[in-house]
Amino acid sequence: MSGKGIFTIGELVQKSGVSIRTLRYYDSIDLLKPSDYTEGGHRLYSTEDLSTLQNIKSLQFLGLSLKEIKDVLQKNTVKGEIILKSLNDQKQLFEAKKLEIINVLSDLNHLIETVKDEEIINIEIFCAMLQKLMFAENTETWFKEHFSDITDELFSINKSEEIDLDKKWTKVLSEIKHLTFTEAIPSTNEAQETVKTLLQLMNETVKGNLDMMEKKLPFTESLKFPNPFTEKEQIFLKEAISIYQNNCYNTQATIQN
């Protein structure tokens, strides 16, 4: 401290948490001018200046502009309706932030529950899961536009069911990546069992409406959903599914004959 009740700009920064750049700007717009200067021209602030600075920060919390704050400080009074409006505006702002935080915490808990038993996590699959949560609102909107008759049914799932589904998806997607990595043949029993599990999971996810959706999908706008597969993995999966469906068709035809 330069003297009793007198602060240099650096000392005021330490006491207030406001940057030197901000204090210089406040000086330039006559919002908070130094009470004095040293012989070398350096700014000096009084305890009253510190109190004024704290008032500025308080009024900024209410969302008032610097121009409005300057006017309030000069008059030392303000209409009650202005303060009331500012308080209500800030309340709405923090209520929105509170809701956002609650949603983020919910998503984090969801991811924790989904991956907590996984020793190794494929980053592409994890990012796809994360994006699914991030864009859940857009996904629901897309379903309402294209499959309005089943949207309520699809999105009435509780958190426990959703986590269980995501665990299943993580497992089957990881299996597909493993099969591709090990150069598995799409027609092998392992590959075909994985495809069978995948198609069953797809049908479970859409509450048994997979056949209906597949018929309508070519006529709907595509859903921009994160794809965790590389081009090689997509080729493998497409071939494996084609083989599986042909086998199912042939089996069904044999039974009918």
Predicted confidence at residue 257, as pLDDT, reads 56
Q: Domain count of the chain?
A: 2
Measured CA to CA, the distance from residue 132 to residue 125 in angstroms comes to 11
- In the listed set 26, 61, 78, which residue is the last one of a domain according to the structure? 78
One domain, residues 121 and 233: yes
Residues 154 and 250 in one domain: yes
Q: Which of 222, 221, 202, 225 has the alpha carbon at shortest distance from 212?
A: 202
Residue 72 CB contacts under 8 Å (≥ 6 apart), including other chains: 59, 64, 78
pLDDT at 135: 87
Give pLDDT, residue 132.
Answer: 87
Region label for 207, one of left (φ > 0), alpha (ψ between -120 and 50) or beta (otherwise): left
Task: Tell whether 111 is covered by a domain.
Answer: no
Residues 134 and 238 in one domain: yes
- Neighbouring C-beta atoms of residue 91, cutoff 10 Å: 10
pTM: 0.66
User: How many C-beta atoms surround the C-beta of residue 177 within 10 A?
Assistant: 19
Give the per-residue pLDDT at 91. Answer: 93
Which three-class secondary structure state does DSSP give residue 79?
coil
DSSP codes joined into one string, 39-64:
TT--EEEEHHHHHHHHHHHHHHHTT-
Question: Can you give the pLDDT of all 257 residues of the chain as single tens digits?
Answer: 455 578 999 999 999 999 999 999 999 999 999 999 998 999 999 999 999 999 999 999 988 999 999 999 999 888 899 899 999 999 999 999 999 899 889 999 999 999 998 888 899 999 988 988 888 888 889 889 888 999 999 888 888 999 999 999 999 999 999 999 999 999 999 999 999 999 999 999 999 998 888 888 766 666 666 788 999 999 999 999 999 999 887 777 666 65
What is the domain extent for residue 44?
A: 6-78
Q: What is the pLDDT of residue 249?
A: 76
Determine contact, residues 13/19, Cβ cutoff 8 Å.
yes
| 42 CB-near residues (< 8 Å, 6+ apart) | 8, 9
Residue 143 falls inside a structural domain: yes
Q: Give the per-residue pLDDT at 4.
A: 58
Q: How many CB atoms lie within 10 A of CB 57?
A: 13
Claim to verify: residue 150 and residue 239 sit in the same structural domain = yes
Give the CATH number for residue 13: 1.10.1660.10
